[in-house]
Amino acid sequence: MNHARILTAYLGRLSLKDLRDILRSAEACSHAQLNYGTSAQLEEQRQFNQTVAEAVDNMAEHDRGLISLTLRSESTPFRADQEIVDQTEKLAALLCTRFMGSKPDGVNFRDSLHPQLQQCWSVACEIQEMLTATDPENAVAELDGEEPSPIVKSAAEQIIDLIDGECRFWHGKDESRRGGYAILLATAKNIVKQEKERTNGNT
């Protein structure tokens, strides 16, 4: 867990007055530990805890929501959609075995029309959301809506795109610079064309 981010989330939403009160109370607590007896130390520690609690209570509700979101994102490790679905399927299978005595082979609980198997999937989703703040149904929707992987351009084609982008950017702003990129673009395209012809001739 990234404690620095969590601490920053809290400090970023506390008012300057609250921060000063916490600092003053912390200094008093440290002073008591060095100079006073146990009862005085405990009293200053209690006062410090109360000061921090009051500062947190002074935050607006949406501020506390932002902090909760930060805590949740830091405490819950990233899982790919497929991993979430697979884990929920395993959890549903465990529930099915435990409460129904057996698990049908080759069944996707999320796609099943059987009422009891649907219930196992539903409960598994609830457990995932309660323990990991993850909605498996969203992961299923993402997987079902995935588009084919885009075609990856060659390095030469990517370089040509970059040069072409520079030509477009400098058009009307700095024609001499645009002209230089235009010459470079034409040369690059010619080199790629010759390379393709050479490759096709060797096959």
Report pLDDT digits (tens) over 113-171: 788 888 889 999 988 887 777 889 999 988 887 554 455 566 677 777 777 777 776 77
User: Domain range for residue 50?
Assistant: 3-75
Pair (161, 179) in one structural domain:
yes
- Compute the mean pLDDT over every residue in the chain, rounded to the nearest whole number: 76
For residue 125, count other CB atoms closer than 10 A to its CB: 23
Give whole-number Cα distances, 111 to 46, 107, 127, 142, 147, in Å: 55, 8, 18, 15, 20
Arithmetic mean of pLDDT, 63-78: 58
Q: What's the pLDDT score for residue 88? A: 92
Residues 6+ apart with CB under 8 A from 170: 177, 178, 181
- 149, part of any domain: no
Chosen domain end from 144, 166, 186: 144
Is the predicted pLDDT of residue 89 greater than 90, yes or no?
Answer: yes
Higher-scoring residue by pLDDT: 43, 19: 43
- 183, part of any domain: yes
Pair (190, 164) in one structural domain:
yes
Decide if 50 contacts 24 (C-beta within 8 A): no
Arithmetic mean of pLDDT, 60-75: 57
Alpha helices by DSSP H, 153-174: 155-170
Higher-scoring residue by pLDDT: 110, 160: 110
Reduced DSSP (H G I as helix, E B as strand, rest coil) percent helix, strand, coil of the chain, to 5: 80, 0, 20
Chosen domain end from 75, 103, 127: 75
Is the predicted pLDDT of residue 73 greater than 60, yes or no?
Answer: no
Is the predicted pLDDT of residue 55 greater than 80, yes or no?
Answer: no
Provide the number of structural domains found in the chain.
3
Chosen domain end from 112, 144, 176: 144
Pair (163, 186) in one structural domain:
yes
This prediction has a pTM of: 0.38
Q: What's the pLDDT score for residue 149? A: 47
Residues 6+ apart with CB under 8 A from 19: 11, 55
